[in-house]
Amino acid sequence: MEYKDYYKTLGVSRSASADEIRSAYRKLAMKYHPDRNAGNKQAEEKFKEINEAYQVLSDSQKRARYDQLGSAYSDYQRRGGAPGGFNWGDWTTGSPYGGTQQVNFDELFGGAGGFSDFFRSIFGGMGGGMAASDFEMPPRQPAQAPEYPVSISLLEACEGTTRLLSVGENRKQVKIPPGVKTGTKIRVPDANPGGGDIYLKVTVEPDPNFEREGDNLTTSATIDVFTALLGGEAEVQTLTGRVKLTIPPGTQPEQKFRLAGRGMPKLKDPQSKGDLFVKVKVRLPKQLSEAQKRLIEQARDLMRNS
């Protein structure tokens, strides 16, 4: 008979708590549930193994006996015991069908149920057949609500907007709140002609003037070389209008300045906003008159000699 490592089956450590075991079971049972894997024999076998492991590790008496067996089996292997030579007779409990009420696992699991010979031999006399009152069926997945794509501009994402949704003969004006991002889903209750909700899945179109990262925006402003050297002001376009940005003397090309609260509103708190970062580009003259060249050369010489 082959030893079964139930801890490995559930992917938990041997010191795992009851809550950890339950959580691991729920996650795996949902993944391999027959309802989600129709016709997949491998998933059915995996689901059966998961349930068997959970029935042992979630029962304090069965788990204690299983831990004792595991310790004895590990000691036997460390002593160099040959495969198949372990004395299982010390651990079998006799009747594989204790006194508990039996459950038709084929009905419960769509053919995936049943216990291994290992389980029946080791735990049969402990009530190895699982009582109906003890069985925990993973919840059936609800039908997924339909989704409809909708594209909006960055400005609409900033200010909020509306879209007219038409599904069959149903028409609804749907509000899209400020601060939505690509991937945001807007629930429209009771809009499905077949009953239930539908969702609008938002795509925010790229904007030629702004890059978005979370709730922050980045844009650029161009200044001339003299403003970069001497300081001054630059006009910056934001999503809500133009503002003046103070440029300090000695500003470098590609230097960034932060305008606090000029970014995107936060989705669930539109009064709070991200920041706008302005990347400065310095515009150099392509042609100079002779007089301009002489003046620039004089400035160059003065700077070199200072």
Q: Is the confidence at residue 169, as pLDDT, over 50?
A: yes
pLDDT tens-digit series, residues 28-55: 988 888 777 777 888 888 888 888 888 8
Q: Is residue 197 part of a domain?
A: yes
How many domains would you assign to the chain? 3
Q: Give the pLDDT band (50/70/90) at residue 282.
A: very high
Say if residue 128 is in the same domain as residue 166.
no
For residue 157, the model assigns a pLDDT of: 96
For residue 142, the model assigns a pLDDT of: 56
> Beta partners for 185?
201
Say if residue 41 is in the same domain as residue 89.
yes
For residue 105, the model assigns a pLDDT of: 38
Lowest mean pLDDT among 148-162, 256-270, 287-301: 287-301
> Among residues 56, 169, 199, which one has the least CA distance to residue 123?
56
Say if residue 74 is in the same domain as residue 160.
no
Say if residue 216 is in the same domain as residue 195.
no
For residue 32, the model assigns a pLDDT of: 85
Lowest mean pLDDT among 79-93, 212-226, 256-270, 272-286: 79-93
Write the DSSP string, 55-121: HHHTSHHHHHHHHHHHHHHHHHHHTTPPTT-S-GGGT--S-SS-SSPP--HHHHHTS-----HHHHH
Q: Is residue 293 part of a domain?
A: no
d(CA 180, CA 187): 13
Residue-averaged pLDDT of the chain: 82
